[in-house]
Amino acid sequence: MLSRILIANRGEIALRIIRACRELGIEAVAVYSEADKDAPYLRFADEAICIGPPECAQSYLNIPRIISAAEVADVEAIHPGYGFLAENTHFAQICRDCGIGFVGPSVEAMKLLGDKVAARKLAAKASVPVVPGSDGAIEDESEALKLANKMGYPVIIKAAAGGGGRGMRVVHNDISFRSSFGAARAEAEIAFGNSSVYIEKFIVEPRHVEVQVMADSEGNALHFYERDCSIQRRHQKMIEESPCSVLDKHTREELCESALRIIKEADYTSAATVEFLVDADKNYYFIEANTRIQVEHPVTEMVTGHDLIKWQLKIASGHTLDISQRNIKLSGAAIECRINAEDPDNNFAPCPGTITRYVAPGGPGVRVDTHVHQGWTVSPAYDSMIAKLIVHQRTRTEAITTMRRALQEFVIEPIKTTIPACLDILSHNLFVKNKIDTGFIERNF
Ligand code: MV4
C-alpha cells in the first residue's frame, strides 16, 4: 500500500480523501491556501502545508507550489480530487517526471479521453454507439454544411478540447450554421488553444446518464452501474441519482458493458466516468469520458456499497480489483443534492459569507459530505458548492421522501443556498414521476 500521499485539493473532497486515507492507514498530507487555513479538516491530515494566497492560480492551480509541497513532505503520490488539476495532462506529466505517483490514469489515457474527437473514434472502434456525426474533426465549412444537411437539423457543434458543455453551439438551419461554424472554431481557439471542432446530430431532450468505471493496472475493469445526472442548470448538475430508473435490466447491462469496452480500449487505470445521452426511445449514445473521480460519486457508493476513493488508492498502490462484476450489486436508490452558496432568487449568483448557524440533517439513510460548519466563511475565491446531501433508501420514491425531509432539516444561515431550489425540484410532480431530461430545469423553473 502507498504509505503517504498529498491531496492537491480543498473542501469536501479533500476531507473525503483524508478519511479514506486514514481508514487505509495511508498518511495524508493536505495543502491549503490562506483562505482555508482554519479549515478543521486540516487537523485530520498528518501534515498540512500552506501553498499560497486564496486565488486558485496562486494556490490550488499552482503546479510548482504543489510539486514543491509534495517534495518537501516526501509523499509517494498525489490525489488531485476533482476540478483544479485533476484533468490537467501537463500536471500529470510533471508528477511522472518528478517520480511522484498520480492517483488517476496514465498521461496517455488522460490525453486520449480528453480529446473528444479521439474519444469518439475510440468508442466507435469499441463498437459503442456514438451520436451520428462527423468522422473526426472538421475544418472545412462547406464540407461541414453538407454533412449537417445530410444528417438533418438540429446539429450541435462541439470543441474537440471542450467537454462539460463548454464550447458547444446548437444550430437549427443553414444560415445559423454558416455564422456559428467559424465562430465556434474561433471560440475554441481562444478558450482551449485548439480550434478543432466536430459536429453531431443534436439529440432533443435527452437524459444524461453516466457509467462509473474502475480499472486496475493489470487490465481488469469493472463498472459500478450508472447515475442519472439530467437535473442540471447551465451545465451545472444540481441533483444526481443512481440507478437511472428508466433503464431496464438489459439496457443497463448493454450500457455498462459499452462503458467497459471504451475503458479497456483506452488501456485505462483508476476511476473513470463514461457519459452517454439517452433519448426518449432509450437509445444511448456515448458523448465523452471523464478521467477523474466525480462530485457525484457518493450516490454510486451508496447503491453499491463500495468506497470508490479507497479503490482509487488501492489501485494506485498496485492492488488489483479482486472482486467480480457479479459481486457488485445494485441495492436501492440514492439521490444527491448539491448545496451551493448561491442565491436562487438572484439568478444563482454566488453568495459567499460567514455561516453563523449550521445544523446538518441526519437519521436513517442520510449522508452529508461537507467541510463547512458553524462559523465557517465561504470564500468568493472558489466554487460555490459547500455541501453534498446524499440519501439512500430502498426505492426512488422513498429516497425522494427522505431527501425532502433532510433538506427541510438542513439549516445554513444567513447565506443563501440552493436548498430551497432543490426542495422545489424534489416536490415537482414531473420529477417525482421520473419524467426528467436535461431540459427539465429550463422548462419548469
Ligand atoms: C449533446 C446534446 C444533444 N445532442 N450532444 C452537454 C454537456 C456535454 N457533456 C454534452 N452536452 C450535450 N451534448 C448531442 N449530440 C445535449 C447536451 C446538453 C445540452 C446542450 C445544450 C444546452 C443544454 C444542454 C444540457 C444538457 C446536455
Tell me, in angstroms, the distance from the centre of ligand 1 to residue 31's CA.
35
Domain count, the chain: 3
Residue owning the nearest CA to atom 21 of ligand 1 = 170
Both 319 and 434 in one domain: the answer is: yes
Spatial CB neighbours of 126, under 8 Å, sequence gap ≥ 6? 258, 261, 262, 264, 265
Q: How many CB atoms lie within 10 A of CB 282?
A: 12
Whether residue 156 has its Cβ less than 6 Å from ligand 1: yes
Examine residue 111 and state whether it is found in any structural domain, yes or no. Answer: no
Both 172 and 277 in one domain: the answer is: no
How far is the first Cα of the chain from the last one, in angstroms, to the nearest whole number?
A: 49
pLDDT of residue 263: 98
Task: Specify the CATH number for the domain of residue 154.
Answer: 3.30.1490.20
Examine residue 186 and state whether it is found in any structural domain, yes or no. Answer: yes
Whether residue 438 has its Cβ less than 6 Å from ligand 1: yes
**Distance from C-alpha of 434 to C-alpha of 346, rounded to nearest angstrom:** 28
Domain final residue, candidates 185, 201, 217: 201
Both 85 and 146 in one domain: the answer is: no
Examine residue 94 and state whether it is found in any structural domain, yes or no. Answer: yes
Q: Examine the residue annotation and report whether 405 is marked as an active-site residue of this protein.
A: no
Locus of grid cell 491549503: 32
Both 95 and 192 in one domain: the answer is: no
Both 258 and 392 in one domain: the answer is: yes
Both 265 and 319 in one domain: the answer is: yes
Residue owning the nearest CA to atom 27 of ligand 1 = 438
Whether residue 203 has its Cβ less than 6 Å from ligand 1: yes
Whether residue 165 has its Cβ less than 6 Å from ligand 1: yes
**Atom of ligand 1 at shortest range from CA of 275:** 9
Both 193 and 232 in one domain: the answer is: no
Please choose, from the candidates 230, 271, 242, the residue with its C-alpha nearest in 3D space to the C-alpha of residue 13. 271
Task: Specify the CATH number for the domain of residue 74.
Answer: 3.40.50.20
Both 165 and 86 in one domain: the answer is: no
Both 311 and 391 in one domain: the answer is: yes
Examine residue 228 and state whether it is found in any structural domain, yes or no. Answer: yes
Pairing outcome for strands 155-163 and 166-171: antiparallel
pLDDT of residue 165: 76
Both 98 and 154 in one domain: the answer is: no
C-alpha cell at 335: 439521490
Examine residue 110 and state whether it is found in any structural domain, yes or no. Answer: no
pLDDT tens per residue across all 445 residues of the chain: 999 999 999 999 999 999 999 999 999 999 999 999 999 999 999 999 999 999 999 999 999 999 999 999 999 999 999 999 999 999 999 999 999 999 999 999 999 999 999 999 999 999 999 999 999 999 999 999 999 999 999 999 999 998 777 889 999 999 999 999 999 999 999 999 999 999 999 999 999 999 999 999 999 999 999 999 999 999 999 999 999 999 999 999 999 999 999 999 999 999 999 999 999 999 999 999 999 999 999 999 999 999 999 999 999 999 999 999 999 999 999 999 999 999 999 999 999 999 999 999 999 999 999 999 999 999 999 999 999 999 999 999 999 999 999 999 999 999 999 999 999 999 999 999 999 999 999 999 9
Residue owning the nearest CA to atom 17 of ligand 1 = 165
Both 335 and 405 in one domain: the answer is: yes
Whether residue 287 has its Cβ less than 6 Å from ligand 1: yes
Tell me, in angstroms, the distance from the centre of ligand 1 to residue 165's CA.
6
pLDDT of residue 344: 92
Domain final residue, candidates 103, 123, 158: 103
Q: What is the CA radius of gyration of the chain?
A: 21
Which residue in the list 120, 227, 292, 396 is annotated as catalytic? Answer: 292
**Distance from C-alpha of 120 to C-alpha of 187, rounded to nearest angstrom:** 21
Examine residue 127 and state whether it is found in any structural domain, yes or no. Answer: no
Distances (CA, A) of 58 to 32, 124, 422: 11, 40, 34
Whether residue 164 has its Cβ less than 6 Å from ligand 1: yes
Domain final residue, candidates 186, 201, 216: 201
Examine residue 231 and state whether it is found in any structural domain, yes or no. Answer: yes
**Distance from C-alpha of 227 to C-alpha of 210, rounded to nearest angstrom:** 5
Tell me, in angstroms, the distance from the centre of ligand 1 to residue 148's CA.
17
Both 262 and 286 in one domain: the answer is: yes
pLDDT of residue 425: 98
* 314: containing domain: 207-444
Examine residue 331 and state whether it is found in any structural domain, yes or no. Answer: yes
**Atom of ligand 1 at shortest range from CA of 288:** 9
Task: Specify the CATH number for the domain of residue 370.
Answer: 3.30.470.20
